[in-house]
Chains A and B, each alone.
Chain A
Amino acid sequence: MLTDLGGWVIATVVALGILSVAAGIAVFVVDSMARATFALLASFLAVAGVLLALDLVYLAVVTALMMTIEMAIMAVFMIMFMMNPAGLMPMTMVHNAKGSAVIGAGAFAGLTVGIWTVDWPTRDVSRPADSTRQLGEAIMGSHMLVMLVIGIGLFATIIAGTVLATARGRYDRFGADLAAEHPDDPVPGGLPR
């Protein structure tokens, strides 16, 4: 079966693919943590570009949206926790680099061998007119259970994340006998209390 992607589209897909891997390598090469974070974002945006070319508009745009916000937050944590955020004093913080490189290269080699030897079952099947509608109908219909599990998982994550990240409980806010009229919060917030 011949692909219905045009020559230019295939060239773009290949270029974006190379860019995504190159940006991925840059994440672990550059000294500046800000640059590492935004190299990872570039990798995500390149993959989003490929998804766009593959007619998955919604997934591509959602990837770009989610990953940008995630990386912006990530940058804050990088600056907060890393010793050398701007990379002005180059240092390497790795352990077992050789073993890791062997495992990484081994995984790549194994996957590649599989990819190029498997007889892929490309069939002539009807393409949906609107991939977004296909996904939406699956989420709210045949695959609703997946979405329910995802929802519960995300809710559990919100609670668990808050519990882990916060160090203050109600005794810090309202005093040992919980008798304080107003909570004692370090940040006043915007609502009356």
Chain B
Amino acid sequence: MTAELVLQVVLTVAAGLIGVGLFGALSQQTIVMVMMGLELVLNGVLLAGGAAWYFLAPDLPDAQMLVVVALVVMAVEMAMGFAVTIAFYRARQIDMIDMASDLRG
């Protein structure tokens, strides 16, 4: 099997993860579930970054750095998401984004 074909299969899987995650992040009403959708999108980025390193440029560390950055973005998203959820709940006893739509700028 050629390397290109395997790369395309793995990237398609990553695209699937991104699509499912996008659907979840846009359709869910509770903040925690929205965050799970975003995590799934970033999961696809991890996979695509790993595949890009292995098949396209294993001699350079750049793709690995991309995966590290994606991991850090996940951690930041998670920490800030939980902090916002707690702040929201303290202020209004809500956990749904529809009830916070008055915050739109």
Q: Are A24 and B20 in contact, with the CB atoms below 8 A?
A: yes
Interface of B is mostly: helix
In chain B, positions 73-102 with a C-beta closer than 8 Å to chain A are 74-76, 78-80, 82-87, 89-90, 95-96, 98
Interface residues of B, count at CB 8 A: 73
Interface string of B5-18 (1 = CB under 8 A from A): 01111111101111
User: Does B23 lie within 8 Å of A103, measured CB to CB?
Assistant: yes
Q: Is the CB of A146 within 8 A of B69?
A: yes
Q: Which of A70, A108, A127 contacts B78 (CB 8 A)?
A: A70
Number of A-B contacts defined by CB within 8 Å = 252
Chain A proximity of B77: nearest CB distance (Å): 9
The 4 closest A-B pairs by CB, nearest first: A104-B23, A108-B19, A138-B61, A17-B13
- Interface of A with B (CB < 8 Å)? 1-3, 5, 7, 10, 13-14, 17-18, 20-21, 24-25, 27-28, 36-37, 40, 43-44, 47, 50-51, 54-56, 59, 62-63, 66-67, 70, 73-74, 77-78, 81-82, 93-97, 99-101, 103-105, 107-108, 111-112, 115-116, 120-123, 125-128, 131, 134-135, 137-139, 142-143, 146, 150, 153-154, 157-158, 160-165, 167
